[in-house]
């Protein structure tokens, strides 16, 4: 009998998701259409943001956000090093430079002190924005980051790709939904299949700034505007009687094709209806892991906890591989042989050859220390309690300190 392998993450697709996608396939609009509009309104409801721009991926969401801010060559953007590549790459897409911030070695999060320290390394006047990342689903201290950002006159864009469905403590500790943007100009979401809500490929930017939303909507589709209120060359736009030419569109700025198809949006919309259930089940599994893993401390510990109710994306443990007496690769291979898939999130971005080539070698002690110990264990809503016990049992056998 072949043992089924528990992956570190997996989408949960039901028959109603399939029916929602099939309905679009039978309709008139396959690309950006009415379903994408409905999905945007549903995301605005869930996050509390005024405007939502759905797009083709979390990466294009980050790209649209930096475009919406008007970042350009010569500008600098502060990005924590312990994240997925896209959090930093978005700055490079617009020719801006990245200043890598360190993170807390126990949570992996960029704290206000890390932002302050990175700003001290930026060129005077060049830093325009910072992109805090809500790693694993736990939120950064947005109030503290906002205070630092305001002092330095920079904008905050949240990389909330891990965190949809969670909340963080707002004024007088009232829970604020991730994506509300009460301390940021925008928040970016991903609907990659391992994230809490799946679209196949998809993403969104949430914002309370209608002007920024309008720019992002325009640049999402080539920079085209069909009926510009103030066309640059009215003689192209209008007929002799002043009415709009039916074929006309104007491109004032270069844009991209970052649209979401209605096929993908239908999956996102159907999945979003189950968000609360997904988040609740992930929280139950996290609580079970936390309890069972106490037996393996101190060599194996869950990442440290911050306030709020995380929309958990990953279940990450920090392992003292030296004390265990095995390399991480060996532990991963032995876990896989026991049917447990794991992954490492993330190799610090400042160590990537592309960035070392650009900015030279760098040491960020917190990011390096987190990376040296982190391992993501299986976490997805369809897991049973027994699956968690099986993972912890396997980990106990494999990563126990030699007697």
Ligand X SMILES: *Cc1c(COP(=O)(O)O)cnc(C)c1O
- Whether 55 and 259 have beta carbons less than 8 Å apart is answered as yes
Near ligand X by CB under 6 A: residue from 58, 68, 166, 378: 58
Site for ligand X contains 371 (CB under 6 A): no
C-alpha to C-alpha distance for 267 and 197, rounded to whole angstroms = 9
Near ligand X by CB under 6 A: residue from 63, 192, 264, 281: 192
Site for ligand X contains 206 (CB under 6 A): no
Q: Which residues contact 347 (CB under 8 A, 6 or more apart)?
A: 371
Q: Under rule CB under 6 A, how many of the chain's residues touch ligand X? A: 14
Near ligand X by CB under 6 A: residue from 108, 166, 179, 203: 203
- To ligand X, the closest distance from the beta carbon of 17 in angstroms equals 18
In the bound state with ligand X, the residue whose beta carbon lies nearer, of 134 and 218, is: 134
Site for ligand X contains 83 (CB under 6 A): yes
Given the rule CB under 6 A, which of 21-29, 80-88, 234-242, 316-324 is the region that contacts ligand X? 80-88
Q: Which 3 state secondary structure label does DSSP give 374?
A: strand
Near ligand X by CB under 6 A: residue from 11, 114, 162, 282: 162
- SS in 3 state form for 105-132? CCCCCCCHHHHHHHHHHCCCCCEEEECC
For residue 110, the Cα-to-chain-centroid distance in whole angstroms is 14
Q: Which 3 state secondary structure label does DSSP give 240?
A: coil
- To ligand X, the closest distance from the beta carbon of 160 in angstroms equals 8
Element (H, E) at 203: strand 203-207
Site for ligand X contains 82 (CB under 6 A): no
Burial class (CB in 10 A: 0-12, 13-18, 19+), 365: exposed
Write down the H helix ranges in 294-327: 321-324
C-alpha to C-alpha distance for 134 and 110, rounded to whole angstroms = 9
- To ligand X, the closest distance from the beta carbon of 316 in angstroms equals 13
Given the rule CB under 6 A, which of 139-147, 157-165, 207-215, 389-397 is the region that contacts ligand X? 157-165
Site for ligand X contains 318 (CB under 6 A): no
Residues at the contact surface with ligand X, assessed by CB under 6 A: 57-59, 83-84, 86-87, 133, 159, 161-162, 190, 192, 203
């Amino acid at each position: 009998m072949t043992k089924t392998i528990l992956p570190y993450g997996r989408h949960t697709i039901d028959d109603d998701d399939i029916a929602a996608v099939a309905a679009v396939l039978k309709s008139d609009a396959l690309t950006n259409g009415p379903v994408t509009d409905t999905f945007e309104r549903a995301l605005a409801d869930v996050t509390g943001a005024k405007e939502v721009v759905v797009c083709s991926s979390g990466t294009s969401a980050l790209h649209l956000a930096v475009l919406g801010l008007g970042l350009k060559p010569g500008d600098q953007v502060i990005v924590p090093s312990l994240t997925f590549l896209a959090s930093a790459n978005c700055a490079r897409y617009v020719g801006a430079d990245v200043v890598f911030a360190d993170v807390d070695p126990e949570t992996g999060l960029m704290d206000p002190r890390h932002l302050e320290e990175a700003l001290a390394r930026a060129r005077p006047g060049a830093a325009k924005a910072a992109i805090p990342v809500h790693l694993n689903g736990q939120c950064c201290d947005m109030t503290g980051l906002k205070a630092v950002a305001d002092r330095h006159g920079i904008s905050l864009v949240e990389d909330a790709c891990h965190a949809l469905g969670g909340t963080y403590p707002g004024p007088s500790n009232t829970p604020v939904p991730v994506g509300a943007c009460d301390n940021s100009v925008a928040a970016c979401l991903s609907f990659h299949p391992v994230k809490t809500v799946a679209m196949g490929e998809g993403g969104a930017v949430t914002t309370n700034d209608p002007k920024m939303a309008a720019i992002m909507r325009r640049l999402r589709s080539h920079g085209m505007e069909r009926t510009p209120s103030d066309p640059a060359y009215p003689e192209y736009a209008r007929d002799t009687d002043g009415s709009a030419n039916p074929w006309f569109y104007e491109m004032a700025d270069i844009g991209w094709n970052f649209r979401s198809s209605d096929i993908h949006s239908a999956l996102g919309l159907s999945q979003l209806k189950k968000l609360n259930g997904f988040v609740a089940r992930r929280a139950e599994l996290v609580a079970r892991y936390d309890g069972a893993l106490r037996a393996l401390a101190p060599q194996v510990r869950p990442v440290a906890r911050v306030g709020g109710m995380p929309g958990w994306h990953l279940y990450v443990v920090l392992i003292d591989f030296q004390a265990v007496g095995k390399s991480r690769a060996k532990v991963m291979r032995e876990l896989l042989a026991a049917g447990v898939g794991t992954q490492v999130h993330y190799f610090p971005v400042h160590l990537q050859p592309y960035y070392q080539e650009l900015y030279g070698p760098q040491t960020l002690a917190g990011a390096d220390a987190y990376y040296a110990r982190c391992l993501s264990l299986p976490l997805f809503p369809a897991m049973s309690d027994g699956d968690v016990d099986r993972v912890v049992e396997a980990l106990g056998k494999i990563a126990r300190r030699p007697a």
